[in-house]
Amino acid sequence: MQIILLIVGIVYALKKPKLKALTSSQFPGVPAEKFAEWQALELKSINIFLWATWGLLIISIPVGLLAGATFPGGALGLQGLFFVLFFVLLVFSAVSGSKAAKLKKQLGINWPKK
């Protein structure tokens, strides 16, 4: 599961700089402030998703090694906590992503072909 999340995270990590490089001038029919709102929502969604995948994986390794035995429920309880955090972060990412998708559709934003 963690390997799949790492790979999916790579896809989003590669998308992030391309998204940041977009400017409102590339979308002449879209008001600049609405473009900025869409871009910010997309970036927020990507950042939260990366925390859910890469962030929790990176944090879970040392925490699991250092606190796994002393955490209530042991290592299994700690894994459960990280699993819950993962899904909470995915929900927050999905909320931002849904808002961005709705705005993208309303504004008719299509990624430029480069």
Residue of higher predicted confidence among 96 and 8: 96
Is residue 114 assigned to a domain? Answer: no
Calpha distance 79→35 (Å, rounded): 39
> What is the predicted pLDDT for the residue at 43?
97
Which pLDDT tens digit goes with each residue over 12-45? Answer: 999 999 999 999 999 989 999 999 999 999 999 9
Look at residues 67, 98, 95 and name the one whose alpha carbon lies nearest to residue 82.
67
Which residue range(s) make up the domain with 34? Answer: 2-107
Which pLDDT tens digit goes with each residue over 48-102? Answer: 999 998 888 888 777 766 665 566 666 666 777 778 888 999 999 999 999 999 9
Calpha distance 54→95 (Å, rounded): 19
Is residue 57 assigned to a domain? Answer: yes
> Structural domain tally of the chain?
1
Residues 6+ apart with CB under 8 A from 90: 49, 52
Is residue 26 assigned to a domain? Answer: yes
Is residue 112 assigned to a domain? Answer: no
Whole-model pTM: value is 0.83
